[in-house]
C-alpha cells in the first residue's frame, strides 16, 4: 500500500518552546519533515491543508478522564465512543482513563475489561491508569506487572473511607516502595478523610444540607494536610508522585516547596478550578457543580493561574467525570452529601485555556502547549510519540482557529450531556481540523473520523522527566 503524504502549510506552529511559521510534512501516521513556507511542492502530496490564519498545535493529551466509570449509584456520561468523540472536538488526540480495581480483585483482569470496552469504539488514541484500593500482597505483586503491561501509573485516595477506597499511611508506604522498585508513578487524590468526615457530620448536625455546604465541608485545609502528608511519606520511601486536581492556593505552595527540596512530586489542576468559583453552589443548579475537591474562591483561581504559568503546576487536565443530571437530582435528594460528584469537561479544555489563559495574558501559547500536550506526554510515558511536532512523532495535529467567537453551552458542544459547566460563557477559538496518527478526525469543525481508529498506547515512563 502506498504511504499517504499530507502537507500542512501556511500556519503558525506552536510548540512548548516556540511560535514560528513553517510547514509540516506527514507520511503515513507520523510527522516526516519541517520546512520553510514554499519549501515543499504542494502537487506532490495527496492532500494539502491550508492553515493560513490558524495555529498548528500538537494533538492534546488529557491524562485524567473517567470513561464508563460507576460512582455513587450512577455512571459517567462518557464511554470510549462518546468520550473520544468529544475529546476530538476539543483537539485531544490521546486520553488516559482509569480502571478501578474492585476491592480484592485483579488489577490486570480489570485492564482487560477496559480493552474490551474500548475495542472498536475510540476515535482517538487512549491509555489506562490503574486505581489501587489497598496494599494487599496481590496488589503489590501486580504493580510491576502493570508497569510491564504499559500501565506505569495508578491512583490511590487519601479519603473515601466510607466506600472502602482510602489508602492509609501504612499501605501508601508499601505502594511507594513498590512503585520505586517498579519504575512507576503513584497518582494521589489528596483530601484528608478525618477532616472531611468531621466537617460533614458537623454541617449535617446543624441542618446544613444545601449545595454550598459541599464546599464548606471540604475545606482547603483537607487538601493541604493530605498533600503534606504524602510528601512526608515520600521522604521515607522516595518514589515519583503526581498530585491530581490541585485546587488551593496553599497546596501549590506546598508542592513548590517540596520540589525545591528535590522531591519527585508533580501536579495538575483542572480547567474548572481555573475558571469557576464555589459561588455556583449557591444557585438552584448548584448540585450540578459538585465535584471533589470542590470549586474554590477567586483567590485560589488567581494562585492556580500563577502556578500554571511558572510552576509547580505542570498539567491542566479535564478530570472529565460528568454524570447524568437526572441522576444527580434524584440521588441528591436535596442534600449536598448525596450528590454523585463530577463534571464533564473533556471538550472545552483547549478553548477555555485559550480564552481565559492566553487571551487574558495569564499564560503564553507555548505554555498552553506545555500544560495540555507536551508535559502530560512527558510525565505519563508518551513523549515524543505524543505531545510533539518533531519529525518521527505521531502525526497528531490540531489546526486551531483562534479567531472564531462563539458562546459555550450544552447545545454548542458535543459532550454526551445536557449540562456544560461553562454555560453561557463567550469564548474564542475552536479546533477546525484534528488529525490522529495522520487520519483526519475533525474536518471543518465536524467529526469525520472512524470509531475504532483510536488504539491503545502502551506507556513507559522516562525517569529523566519524573525523578
pLDDT, tens digit, 9 for 90 and up, residues 208-264: 999 999 999 999 999 999 999 999 999 999 999 999 999 999 999 999 999 999 999
Residues 6+ apart with CB under 8 A from 355: 425, 427, 428, 429
Backbone dihedral angles phi then psi of residue 197, each to the nearest 5 degrees: -65, -40
CA angle 293, 229, 162 (to 5 degrees): 50
Q: Of how many residues is the chain composed?
A: 467
Report yes or no: 91 and 431 within 8 Å, Cβ to Cβ.
yes
* Full set of structural domains in the chain with CATH: 59-387 (3.20.20.140)
3-state secondary structure of 267: strand
Cell numbers representing residue 46 in the block: 495527496
pLDDT, tens digit, 9 for 90 and up, residues 147-193: 999 999 999 999 998 888 899 999 999 999 999 999 999 999 999 99
Residues 361-366: what's their mean pLDDT? 98
3-state secondary structure of 315: strand
Segment (H or E) for 60: strand 60-62
Q: Is the pLDDT of residue 20 over 90?
A: yes
In this prediction, residue 101 carries a pLDDT of 65
**Residue among 463, 377, 387, 462 nearest 63 (CA):** 377
Cα 240 to its chain centre, rounded Å, is 18
Q: Are strands 5-9 and 23-27 parallel, antiparallel or unpaired?
A: antiparallel
Angstrom distance (rounded) from CA 273 to CA 38: 43
Per mean pLDDT, which range of 51-55, 113-117, 400-404 is the poorest?
113-117
Residue in the block written with cell 486551531: 400
Backbone dihedral angles phi then psi of residue 42, each to the nearest 5 degrees: -60, -25
pLDDT, tens digit, 9 for 90 and up, residues 100-110: 767 777 778 77
Query: In this structure, how many other beta carbons lie within 10 angstroms of the beta carbon of residue 202?
Result: 13
pLDDT, tens digit, 9 for 90 and up, residues 110-154: 777 888 888 899 999 999 999 999 899 999 999 999 999 999 999
Tell me what the pLDDT averaged over the chain comes to. Answer: 96
What DSSP string describes 349-408? HHHHIIIIIITTTSS-HHHHHIIIIIHHHHHTT-TTTSS--STTSB--EEEEEEEEEEEE
pLDDT, tens digit, 9 for 90 and up, residues 290-316: 999 999 999 999 999 999 999 999 999
Report yes or no: 415 and 322 within 8 Å, Cβ to Cβ.
yes
Amino acid at each position: 500500500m502506498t504511504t499517504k503524504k499530507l502537507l500542512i502549510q501556511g500556519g503558525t506552529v506552536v510548540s512548548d518552546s516556540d511560535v514560528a511559521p513553517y510547514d509540516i510534512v506527514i507520511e503515513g501516521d507520523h510527522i516526516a519533515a519541517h520546512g520553510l513556507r514554499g519549501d515543499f511542492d504542494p502537487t506532490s502530496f495527496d492532500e494539502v491543508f491550508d492553515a493560513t490564519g490558524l495555529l498548528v498545535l500538537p494533538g492534546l493529551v488529557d491524562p485524567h478522564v473517567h470513561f464508563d466509570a460507576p460512582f455513587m449509584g450512577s455512571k459517567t456520561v462518557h464511554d470510549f465512543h462518546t468520550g473520544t468523540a468529544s475529546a476530538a472536538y476539543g483537539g485531544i488526540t490521546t486520553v488516559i482513563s482509569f480502571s478501578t480495581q474492585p476491592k480484592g480483585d485483579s488489577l490486570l483482569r480489570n485492564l482487560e475489561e477496559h480493552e474490551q470496552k474500548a475495542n472498536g469504539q475510540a476515535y482517538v488514541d487512549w491509555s489506562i491508569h490503574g486505581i489501587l484500593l489497598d496494599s494487599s500482597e496481590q496488589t503489590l505483586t501486580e504493580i510491576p506487572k502493570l508497569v510491564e503491561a504499559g500501565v506505569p501509573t495508578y491512583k490511590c485516595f487519601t479519603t473515601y473511607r466510607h466506600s472502602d477506597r482510602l489508602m492509609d499511611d501504612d499501605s501508601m508506604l508499601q505502594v511507594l516502595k513498590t512503585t520505586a522498585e517498579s519504575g512507576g508513578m503513584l497518582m494521589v487524590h489528596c483530601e484528608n478523610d478525618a477532616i472531611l468526615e468531621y466537617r460533614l457530620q458537623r454541617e449535617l448536625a446543624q441542618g446544613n444540607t444545601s449545595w454550598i455546604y459541599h464546599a464548606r465541608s471540604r475545606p482547603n485545609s483537607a487538601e493541604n494536610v493530605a498533600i503534606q502528608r504524602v510528601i512526608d511519606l515520600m521522604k521515607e520511601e522516595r518514589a515519583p508522585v503526581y498530585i491530581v486536581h490541585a485546587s488551593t492556593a496553599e497546596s501549590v505552595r506546598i508542592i513548590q516547596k517540596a520540589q525545591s527540596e528535590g522531591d519527585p512530586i508533580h501536579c495538575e489542576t483542572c480547567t474548572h478550578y481555573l475558571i469557576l468559583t464555589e459561588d455556583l453552589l449557591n444557585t438552584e443548579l448548584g448540585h450540578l457543580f459538585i465535584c471533589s475537591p470542590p470549586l474554590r474562591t477567586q483567590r485560589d483561581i488567581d494562585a492556580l493561574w500563577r502556578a500554571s504559568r511558572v510552576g509547580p503546576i505542570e498539567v491542566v487536565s479535564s478530570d472529565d467525570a460528568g454524570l447524568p443530571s437526572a441522576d444527580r437530582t434524584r440521588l441528591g435528594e436535596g442534600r449536598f452529601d448525596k450528590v454523585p460528584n463530577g463534571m464533564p469537561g473533556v471538550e472545552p479544555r483547549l478553548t477555555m485555556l485559550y480564552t481565559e489563559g492566553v487571551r487574558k495574558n495569564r499564560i503564553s501559547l507555548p505554555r498552553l502547549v506545555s500544560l495540555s500536550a507536551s508535559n502530560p506526554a512527558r510525565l505519563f510515558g508518551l513523549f515524543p510519540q505524543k505531545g510533539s511536532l518533531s519529525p518521527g512523532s505521531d502525526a497528531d495535529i490540531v489546526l486551531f482557529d483562534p479567531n472564531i467567537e462563539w458562546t459555550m453551552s450544552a447545545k454548542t458542544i458535543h459532550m454526551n450531556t445536557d449540562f456544560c459547566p461553562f454555560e453561557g460563557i463567550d469564548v474564542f477559538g475552536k479546533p477546525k481540523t484534528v488529525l490522529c496518527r495522520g487520519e483526519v478526525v475533525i474536518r471543518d469543525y465536524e467529526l469525520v473520523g472512524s470509531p475504532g481508529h483510536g488504539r491503545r498506547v502502551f506507556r513507559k515512563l522516562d525517569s529523566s522527566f519524573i525523578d
